[in-house]
Amino acid sequence: MSTPDGTAVGPARPARPSLTGDHHVHSTFSDDAVSAPVENLEAAARAGLRTVRMVDHVRVSTTYVPSFLAVVRGLPPVDGLTVLTGVEAKILDASGAVDAPPEVLAALGRPDGPDRVLLADHQLPGPDGPWSPRTTRERMAAGLAASDVLDLLVTATVRAMHRVGRAQVAHPFSLLPKIGLSEDDVSDEHLDALAAAAVATGTPVEVNEKWRCPGPRARTRWAAAGVELVASTDAHHAGDVGTYRWLGALDA
């Protein structure tokens, strides 16, 4: 299917993701999380989840990914629960480069690699590299337009989806409140560009409990375009795995 301007769209999907999955769960391999993978597995089983994606933070210099994957893939099987893997990396710059080790990117989807890379907007992917929220706010105060900032973010995210091939968009737009913007500043064209890239590359997009994003407008528009929305807690503690206080109360 396609829109009148030729943008690829898929069949419509639900605007509220299934809460039987948690597609973004951190373990002690991330230095800011406290639970071991086996504790997250047990929590996922207790919560009655059918899918859990175990994910930890990486940078280009990270070396622990083989041991992380060995631990996760060595977990005891739980009936009815599928365990997926991933690494979370920030989008570095406007070219869509991501802050992950090249050998990890090369091994994506292989038995010796993670299933997917979670693309994170922890900083603004600028033309010359990542801009911190503070730097971004300073440049906006000096005259950079909000629409140009959003262009950078959207263009880099679209390019990262295509470059990585096996991505998942983590907490889309979580950066915006940190730079004084909101999803109301995002144009329909930007939403549609993200949707087209997600559909074309088969990239799932998170609805993230921790960051409470994206909002209803993006979710509805993306679902109508055929984007696969997946639920995630971004848990850094096993007690939060599969716990959806905000997401569970959403109408759509």
Give the binding site for Zn ion (CB under 5 A).
Answer: 88, 120, 234
* Cis-peptide, bond into residue 214, ω within 30° of zero: yes
Complex with Zn ion: residue 175 or 181, whichever CB lies closer: 175
Q: Indicate the residue whose CB is closest to Zn ion.
A: 120
**Rounded Cα–Cα distance for residues 42 and 238 (Å):** 8
Q: How far is the CB of 24 from Zn ion (least distance, A)?
A: 6
**Rounded Cα–Cα distance for residues 84 and 4 (Å):** 37
Query: What does R_g of the chain's alpha carbons equal in angstroms?
Result: 17
Please, are residues 223 and 12 in contact by the beta-carbon 8 Å criterion? yes
Q: How far is the CB of 140 from Zn ion (least distance, A)?
A: 22
Complex with Zn ion: residue 47 or 120, whichever CB lies closer: 120
Complex with Zn ion: residue 88 or 209, whichever CB lies closer: 88
Q: How far is the CB of 142 from Zn ion (least distance, A)?
A: 27
Cβ-proximal residues to 186 (8 Å cutoff; 6+ apart), any chain: 150, 154, 173, 176, 218
Complex with Zn ion: residue 7 or 62, whichever CB lies closer: 62
Complex with Zn ion: residue 192 or 240, whichever CB lies closer: 240
Q: How far is the CB of 31 from Zn ion (least distance, A)?
A: 12
With H, G, I as helix, E, B as strand and everything else as coil, classify residue 207. strand
Q: How far is the CB of 173 from Zn ion (least distance, A)?
A: 12
Beta partners for 88?
57, 118
